[in-house]
Structure 1
Amino acid sequence: MDAIQQHMLDTYRAAQLSEPAPPPPGRHDRAVLRDLYRHWLRHPPTRRTDDPDTSGPPSPSGV
């Protein structure tokens, strides 16, 4: 089922339950992407400490 079909089904269900219709798909995409980008700028990803590339030199046992 694609987004349009899901929206049509959700709109029908909302009408049957006398609830407000959901927003159309993609309506808030730009705002969501902008907020994610701003969050990423404030909190950039860091390397995990258990990543084998950043754990330092190999141990003498080779493990």
Structure 2
Amino acid sequence: MDAMQQHMIDNYRAARLGTPAPPLPGTHDVAVLKELRDYRRFEAVLDGRLATGRLRAALAHLIAPRHPHPHPHPHPPACR
């Protein structure tokens, strides 16, 4: 049985019992994802980590161009 069939059975049961119909499947998905994001940010703050932009900062660190070495030659030329 899929979610829509279960919803139809729940609707029928609610109509027979005179109770409000349940929401459609997927109605609160966005709200649940936002709450999960907020909870993860809260946990990050408690752990002493950055609360926002952690993924973007990690990707920027990986993609950022490497800074050249301050000296163009790693070893100075030998004096003759």
> Same-fold call, TM > 0.5?
yes
Query: What is the number of residues matched between the two proteins?
Result: 45
Could you tell me how far apart the structure 2 residues matched to 1:41 and 1:2 are?
Answer: 33
For residues 14-29 of structure 1, the aligned pairs below 5 Å read: 14-29=14-29
Q: Max radius of gyration: which structure? A: 2
Report SS of the residue matched to 1:20: coil
Please give the TM-score of this superposition, normalised by the length of structure 1.
Answer: 0.67
Q: When you count helix as a share of all residues, which structure comes out higher?
A: 2
For residues 1-63 of structure 1, the aligned pairs below 5 Å read: 1-44=1-44
Please give the TM-score of this superposition, normalised by the length of structure 2.
Answer: 0.53
Query: Hey, which bits of structure 1, 4+ residues long, moved more than 2 A?
Result: none
Higher relative contact order (CA 8 A, sep 6+): 1
Q: Which amino acid aligns with 2:30?
A: R
* Aligned residues with identical type, % of pairs: 56
What is the deviation of 1:41? 1.0
Q: Which amino acid aligns with 2:2?
A: D
Measured against aligned partners, the alpha-carbon deviations of 1:28-60 in whole angstroms (never above 9, x if no partner) come to: 00000110111011114x7xxxxxxxxxxxxxx
Alignment RMSD: 1.2
What are the ranges of 5 or more consecutive residues in structure 2 without an aligned counterpart?
48-80
